[in-house]
Structure 1
Amino acid sequence: MDRIRIRGGNELNGTIPISGAKNATLPLMIASLLTDDTLTLENVPHLADVEGLTRILGNHGVDFSVTGKRLRQEAGLGRTIHFNARNIVDTTAPYELVSKMRASFWVIGPLLARMHQAKVSLPGGCAIGTRPVDIFIDGLRALGAEIDIEAGYAVASAKGGLVGGRYKMPKVSVGATHVLMMAATLAKGETVLENAAREPEIIDLANCLTAMGAKIDGAGTSTIRIDGVAALSGARHRVLPDRIETGTYAMAVAMTGGDVTLTGTHADLLPAAARAISEAGAILTPVENGIRVQRNGGGINAVDVTTDPYPGFPTDLQAQFMALMTKSNGIATITETIFENRFMHVQELARLGAKISLSGQVARVEGVKALKGAPVMATDLRASVSLVIAGLVAEGDTLVNRVYHLDRGFERLEEKLGRCGAEIERISG
């Protein structure tokens, strides 16, 4: 099992290319099920989750071909992948596939919309929280689907096809917004989704679906209207930059000091996080095709944050920001409102010398003068990269175990950081 070793103490200086967004790529790939034409996606990152979903779509009969980055090309130059679902051979998504990736449950919407039936395994629990699928099921029922839960599967049908309807989500859900928006594109009549998620990835999916012939209004607001069409065509779409990767590397520079330009991205993707990073003492400057991040001289300021749905502070950056606050010059309070178990990185940061106390969903982080390298274990995707950020300034060596979590969402992380001066290496086996 691979590990990453980091020797802390180096500033970061140079350029880091930002990859295509994982959280946009996955629903875009699933949207290929909506048409029998080819959907071409550009700027697709090399990630374990992308490879896994490609195999899952293949189980349904989706063919794909890849063009783009080869060995020794610059990190961050994404691939172009062509997906064709002309012949859907199976509308069942079995447990052994869905259990490996929660996002694969999302195929239920496009399969119902196009094939009028689907049998999809319930995804089960998750390390960072329960993430129930009730909203997905209730929303699809509002569009006329009949769904029964049988032996751990959602067995769904829509004889004659889905029909437009109105559905107000009881809580903001990015996944449910993706699924219901995709399903509604082929429903008869108008669908209105209320209390919808507003993330940039929602807008990106809506732009792709629109290019395929869908009629969508209001993406990026809390009310989305979709007029169903009889069929969707193929399209070519470029995946938007990864705002979580953008924020992660900006926090790494804020932690270490230095001067790094993040290319292929922009600060508008993460307004709340950009403000928090700036308040912590980094300077974020828009430049052509990117963001310049600097922290030279002064220390790190303590900043309080609370995670919230977009445009609030992203839960996917909470662990990274906590790592940054371990070296602040004061006490920061971090409140997690999205997932109930997303503080599992606290004990691992403590192994490096961090001073963090927990009270329910609130973490109190008291900055320390120095962190000390130690062996640590990644517990989930975002927690794993928080340990990398801490390791970049820890005295001595930090050894991050179980880095397969990192490979799910960060493309060639050690290469990108190494090019900017970090002493970091992957140890295989």
Structure 2
Amino acid sequence: MKKLIIQGGNRIAGEVTIGGAKNSTVALIPAAILADTPVQFDTVPDILDVHNLMIILESMNVKSNFTHGVLDIDPTQIVEAELPSKAIKSLRASYYFMGALLGRFHRATLTFPGGDNIGPRPIDQHLKAFKALGANVSEHAGTVYLDAHNGLHGTRIFMDMVSVGATINAILAAVRAEGTTIIENAAREPEIIDLATFLNNMGAKIRGVGTDVVRITGVDTLQSMNTHTIIADRIETGTYLSLAAALGDGVMLKNVIPEHLEAYTSKLMEIGVDLQIDSDKIYVPATDHLNPVHVKTMPYPGFATDLQQPLTPLMSLANGESTVVDTIYPKRVKHIPELQKMGMKISAGDGQITIDHTEELHGADVEAGEIRAGAALVIAGLMAKGTTVIHKADNILRGYDRIVWKLNRLNGDVTIEDDD
């Protein structure tokens, strides 16, 4: 495990270029094993999740090489193999290998995935989709066994709840199934559109992504002809927007897709941040007066659950009481006791998080319980007086591209060390 050491109090300024979307990347890498040719991804974020997914690929004799944001994957010599449980348990998105392996081999065996502990996130909708497509599903001692020895067949799948993961897994399994699959009540996130774009460019027939009804007509082969450039990470963008508004003397964010952040940027404007939004960049001027706001997370295109925590430090600067209601993960509160150690007036109760105006934060020893809680602590540490040490920083490195380098280029004072 690593730890981040932050010397707080510096104002930040300059430019930061947003990396490729983590939540696209962790689906695209498993999707690559569906291809009958080598594939290449560009603008790949340098995060721990990518390196862990490469370990899983290696276990199946899938060669990969990651250099300067370009990831090459060659699945042409893929073999069925037991996947490394340590890598599987390090990130929840490893469950996308279920759909990809089912599509490729008509069977899969995976231990239950790990990742962030932010409350119940069952995979029942994933398994329901696999069963509908013709797979037998069994579970034993923390392992899921999928077997479609008679092949996968197109069907109608209704998601009982909107689920990004289940929508992606259903697409991965259905893309090489026989016939047409219709997914109803599908998630609409941009990362799903990114995945479908990659698959369609290889010959898949996927329509309706971005709406709540997705239609997939199965194909026999998928062949990559071009490099796929991953979309910009809207969660990383939102995190740096919050930091820039809280502590910036003028920060320019490049490689952004403003349309993916409209619910978030409208809330920042409501807070009092005078964002200057262009087609692919956002400038955040210095902000000195902030209003309290009320946030309610919702499925896309609503306010993203992954952005409620990074917004929290900024909300503490507002002149009044702000609240957050997370309808996606109500138990996503790991950041609260850690921020309290730093002096923030924040609490949870009655189904909501309450943030009061906090005059000053001070450095403390804290722990990143998950990716976005860690992002909130990074912003708070940069705002605080004194030294903040964030333990379990691997959770942050799982999701934020070259975060130490980027923060220091903005005049932050951040170092990373092994944690005893």
The answer to whether 1:421 aligns with 2:407 is: no
Letter in 1 for 2:284: V
Within 2, Cα distance between the matches of 1:5 and 1:279?
32
Q: Deviations over 1:106-125 (max 9, x none)?
A: 11112111211111222268
Q: Distance in 2 between matches of 1:154 and 1:3?
A: 34
Partner of residue 313, structure 2 = 323
Kindly indicate whether residue 384 of structure 2 is the aligned counterpart of residue 386 of structure 1. Answer: no
Task: Give the 5 Å matches for 1:304-343.
Answer: 304-343=294-333
How far, CA to CA, are the matches of 1:177 and 1:258 in structure 2? Answer: 41
Is residue 290 of structure 1 aligned with residue 318 of structure 2? no
Aligned CA distance change for structure 1 residues 7 and 51 (closer, same or farther; 3 Å):
same
Alpha-carbon shift at residue 364 of structure 1 (Å): 1.1
Q: Residue 386 of structure 2 aligns with which residue? A: 396
| C-alpha distance in structure 2 between counterparts of 1:388 and 1:96, whole Å | 27
1:110/1:182 contact within 8 Å kept: yes
User: Does structure 1 residue 209 correspond to structure 2 residue 196?
Assistant: no
Residues 62-77 of structure 1 aligned to structure 2 (within 5 Å): 62-67=62-67, 69=68
Q: Deviations over 1:211-252 (max 9, x none)?
A: 010011110111111111111112421111110000000000
Q: Mean alpha-carbon deviation: is it higher for 327-336 or for 2-11?
A: 2-11
Aligned partners of 1:215 and 1:256: how far apart in 2? 46
Aligned position for 1:265:
256
Is 1:180 aligned to residue 141 of structure 2?
Answer: no
Q: Which amino acid aligns with 1:93?
A: L
Residue range with higher mean Cα deviation, 381-390 or 318-327: 318-327
Note the C-alpha offset of 1:133: 1.0
Matches of 1:85 and 1:395 in 2, distance apart? 50
SS in 1 for 2:276: strand
Q: CA offset at residue 325 of structure 1?
A: 1.1
Match of 2:28 in 1: 28
Question: Which structure 2 residues correspond to residues 27-426 of structure 1 after superposition, within 5 A?
Answer: 27-67=27-67, 69=68, 79-123=69-113, 126-235=116-225, 236-287=227-278, 289-296=280-287, 298-426=288-416
Deviates further, 219-228 or 395-404: 395-404
What letter matches 1:35 in structure 2? A
Shift of 1:16: 0.4
Cα separation, partners in 2 of 1:111 and 1:267, compared to 1, 3 Å: same
Partner amino acid, structure 1, of 2:106: H
Sort the Cα spacing of 1:7 and 1:151 in 2 relative to 1 into closer, same or farther, 3 A. closer
Compare 333-342 and 206-215 and name the one that shifted more. 333-342
Quick one: distance in 1 between partners of 2:166 and 2:364?
40
Q: Percent identity?
A: 39
Shift of 1:329: 0.8
How far 1:126 sits from its partner (Å)? 4.8
- The range that moved more, 285-294 or 50-59, is 285-294
Partners of 2:4 and 2:415 within 8 A in 1: yes
Distance 1:89 1:264, change over 3 A: same
Distance in structure 1 (CA, Å) of the matches to 2:280 and 2:144: 44
Residue 97 of structure 1 aligns to which amino acid in structure 2?
A
Deviation at 1:31? 0.7
Deviation at 1:426?
Answer: 2.6
Q: Once the 2 structures are TM-superposed, how far is the Cα of residue 423 of structure 1 from its aligned partner?
A: 2.7
Q: CA RMSD in A?
A: 1.6
Structure 2 gap segments, 5+ residues each: none
In structure 1, list runs of 5 or more residues that go unmatched: 70-78
CA distance in 1, matches of 2:114, 2:418: 30
Helix, strand or coil: the match of 2:332? coil
Q: What is the TM-score of this pair, normalised by structure 2?
A: 0.95
Cα offset, 1:159, TM superposition: 2.2
The 1:61–1:393 alpha-carbon spacing in structure 2 relative to 1, beyond 3 Å, is same
Partner residue, 1:74: none
Residue type of the partner of 2:198? C
Question: CA 1:33/1:360 → structure 2, altered by over 3 Å: closer, same or farther?
Answer: farther
**Partner of 1:18 in structure 2?**
18
Judged with a 3 Å threshold, the aligned counterparts in structure 2 of structure 1 residues 285 and 199 are, in CA distance, closer, same or farther, namely: same
Q: 1:267-286 deviations in whole A, cap 9, x for unaligned?
A: 11211111111211212222
